[in-house]
Structure formats: C-alpha cells, structure tokens
Chain A
C-alpha cells in the first residue's frame, strides 16, 4: 500500500489511539469481566433471578420498549414535517430536537417531575382524572420519551430528505394516490431507519438513569429501574450483586448495538448499489 508509506505518523497515531483506548475504556470495562469471573454460576443466577432484580429488569425493558414505540410514531411524524413542510419556527424546532443530547439528564429529570407531579403544571389536571404520572411506570415512560425522541427523528429525517422525488412523481403520474405512494414507496424506504431509531431509543432507555430517578419514585419491586438497583447495591457495597446485574445489561446493550451496526451496514450497502 503506497498510501501507508507516504504518510508519516502511523506508529505514533495508532499507538497513541490504542494506548488511550486501553487505559480509558478497555481496562475499566475489563475490570467488570474480571470481577464477574469471581462469581460462580450459582451466585450469578441467584442475583439475576431474584424477585427484586427480575422486577427491575421487567420494568426497565418494558418502559424502554413502550417509550421507543411511542417515539417511533411521533419521531417519524416530526421527521416528516421537518423534511417536507415549511412552517414558521422550523429552524428552531429542528435545532431543539437535539435538546435531550445537550441537556444534562438530571436537569431533564427534575423538570419533568415538576411538570407531572400531582401539583405540577400538567400533573394537577391529570390528578383530577385520577391519572398519576410521577412515581409510576407511566412517569418513567414519559422521561424516556424525552430522552429517546431525537434518536428516531435523526435516523429518519435524512432518509426522507434523500428520497428521490422522481420516483414519487412517476408514481403520481401513473395515477397512484397520495396514500398509496406513502404506503408502497415512502414507508418501505423508511423502515430500516425506523428500526434503527427504535433500537437506539430502546437501548438508551434501558440504561437511562438521570432523567428517570427523579420521576420514578424508586420503590423496590414497583418503580425501581435496573440502573438504580445497581446504584443501590453499590451503595450497600454489594459489588458482586451489582456486577451480576451490570454484566447482564452490558450483554443486552452490546447485542442491540451489534444489531444496529449490521442493520446500518446492510442498508448503506443497498443504497450504495442503487447509486
């Protein structure tokens, strides 16, 4: 490779990259593996299948799943209006969609609690109808809705923008109705990015901590999410228990991200062939 010989600094840049990666990321993550190897299968299963852990896992996965579904619907809708319609304040809306990436999670958490507590701006009205949001699983879903929305919008928006208008125009000139064009041309093209956005939002939701702990109430067995259970075990110096739960979550989120990578590689390969 002629390229490799012309450019200087191969050893320096790659060596530094690998050393820094090892020190900051791989050795710390490796410690988790090292720590879990000191657990026997029996101990691991005892922690992971205890009633309290199972309840926390069920809650984390269920709320993350429901909220990722909601975000897939509304994220698609918002990406659609941003990509296709002109309206006043569009630039501001477009910029603020990324707010959850820039706003610290603890700040989002207390803001959402202030809105949905039974004395809050929206919470007091829902309270009259007997709907409680704060300190229930519903509150967790709402917090994750805030956190996860940009993942779906930013996955779908570029696909909608790049969709060839000629194809739609051709379909229209052949007499296809608007709904038929959407159902048979636009929607199939968007599906991979919807799945990617859903998975990103879901994966983020499972591990989310800061925005959830204020609104969730943190009652063991009822509103205790898995990351909070790790936190509790760490505070009680139950490092073995915390490690078992953390390892399980890590395996799940690595699998999800592996899935996203495969998905994105596949769809970009397909787009590459078309171009």
Chain B
C-alpha cells in the first residue's frame, strides 16, 4: 500500500472534493425529504399518511409489487436455468433481449401499453367489446411495472448460476435425482443470495416506478394512484408536507433496500465483484 500512496496533501484534497460532492448531491436530497416531511411536526406527518388517498396508494403500490416481483422472479430463474445449463442457437440474442427494457425511457415503457390496449390501440377495440379495461386501470399499472422491472432478477441470477457451475447438479442427476429434486435441493440453495439480491432490486424499482406508471394510470385518486403518483399529485397541489410524508415512506424503503443489498454483498463476494455489469 505504501508505494501506491500519494502525498497527504493530495489525499486530503481528493477526499475533501469527493466527499463534499457526495454530501451535496447525494446526502442533501435524502435529508431534505425527512426534514420537509416533519416540518410541521409529527401530527401532520401521521395525518398525511393516514389519509384515505394515501392509504389506498400504499395498498396499490404493495399490490403491484406483490404481483410483478414474483412473476419476474419465476421468469428470472427459468431464464437463468435455460441460459446457463444448455447450449442453444441465439443465446446471446436472448440475453440482449432480456436486457432491453433497461434501455427504454420510462415514458416509452408506459406508452407502448397505451398503444396496445388503449381505445385507439391494437387490441383496444376488442377489449372494449368485452368490457375489459386495462389502461387507466390497475392491470395496466401492473403490466407497465412488469415491463420496467423485467430484467432485474434474471440479470442478477444468470451470472451467479454461471459462476457456480453445474458439477453438483450433474452428480445429483447421475445418481438418479429427478430434475425438480435437483432444482429445489441443490440449485436453489446455491443461488439464494443472488436471487434475494435480484428480488430486492426488482422490488425497489417496482414500488418506485413513476414515469411508466404515470402514463398508464390515468391518475384516478383512490383508484389508480400508486405511492409515487400520490407524491406528484400532492406536490402539484402545494401540499408539501403531504407530498414529502409520502416521499419519506419511499425514501425509507430505499434505505432499507440499500441496507439489505449491502448485507447480501458482504455474504456473497461474487455479487460484489459482478455488480458493475448489471446497472
């Protein structure tokens, strides 16, 4: 370490510069959320969260992630199994396609569902005939969230499954274990940290998605408002304490996510060394 060290003056200057930038651009936004939420004390804060609209927004947010995350979890495991255990034509194309939603702007992610299911959409008229309402309703919100969070579990589990290899599975199968037995008893315990890692990142994005959900929700109060949309409505009505109170719940969830993420990284070193490729 000694030969790699700069002079103390350089070290302290770099530390001061880097940490001040971090404090102003990362820490301050976090602090301002909680300070603004409690600006008028605890009473108005609690009242803002117990408000029926806020409560229904919290419920809808929980519902959306309770549907989207497990579905993307099952997909992520299936995709990882197919990609790491078999050789087939077009594998690289498949990996690229799985990552596709990450590169799509949130507004466009929501818009494609309006083009598909909306009144002027591809199958909109058919849906209207059968009295099915997907857009400006809860199913549209769930679909847009599934699109946005689609790759999150897969892109965490694929590298983990690949890194761990298939020797144990091969042994089990050769000794006569069935495919499902091998999966439940050997593969799943091996990938559990990677899986959990993907799930918490997927969940954070599912609960916090704003742009895509904003396009498909129709902003119907108490019906199609998720927590991030609730924040926007209150903010635009100049109810700052209410907006920041709702925002503080989401910020708290983000902090919990980061804590769990850090704990998992310290338990599973391969996740830490892999984490660059995934964002």
Contact = CB atoms under 8 A, between A and B. Distances in A.
Nearest to A231: B107
A77 B21 contact: yes
Given A111-B33, A115-B28, A32 B112 contact: yes
Contact of B26 (A105, A122, A149, A169): A149
B128 interface: no
B279 A207 contact: no
Nearest to A18: B94
A26 B101 CA distance: 10
B81 interface: yes
Interface in A98-152: 98-108, 110-112, 114-115, 121-122, 142, 145-146, 149-151
Counting chain A residues whose Cβ lies within 8 A of the other chain, the interface size class is 35 or more
B176 to A, nearest CB: 12
Contacts of A31: 112, 115-116, 121-122
Contacts of A42: none
Interface string A234-257: 100101001100100110011011
Interface in A29-50: 29, 31-32, 34-35
B121 A111 contact: no
A14 interface: yes
Interface stretch (B40-48, B49-57, B188-196, B253-261): B253-261
B184 interface: no
A21 interface: yes
Contacts of A173: 3
20 contacts: A8-B173, A13-B81, A28-B112, A31-B122, A78-B18, A81-B19, A85-B11, A87-B15, A98-B258, A102-B255, A105-B208, A110-B247, A114-B32, A149-B26, A169-B3, A178-B7, A227-B211, A230-B111, A239-B114, A246-B108
Nearest to B243: A110
A206 B105 contact: yes
Given A99-B254, A210-B211, A239-B115, A146 B279 contact: no
A150 B104 CA distance: 18
A46 B111 CA distance: 21
B30 interface: yes
Interface string B82-119: 11011110000010111111111111100111111010
Given A17-B94, A28-B147, A80-B14, A107 B276 contact: no
Contacts of B112: 28-29, 31-32
Contacts of B147: 24-25, 28
Among A27, A96, A210, A227, find the residue whose CB has the most chain B CB atoms closer than 10 A. Answer: A210
Interface of A: 1, 3-4, 6-10, 12-14, 16-18, 20-21, 24-29, 31-32, 34-35, 74, 77-78, 80-81, 84-85, 87, 91, 93-108, 110-112, 114-115, 121-122, 142, 145-146, 149-151, 154-155, 157-158, 165, 168-169, 172-173, 178, 193, 200, 203, 206-210, 214, 227-228, 230-231, 234, 237, 239, 242-243, 246, 249-250, 253-254, 256-257, 261, 264
Contact of A209 (B179, B210, B258): B210
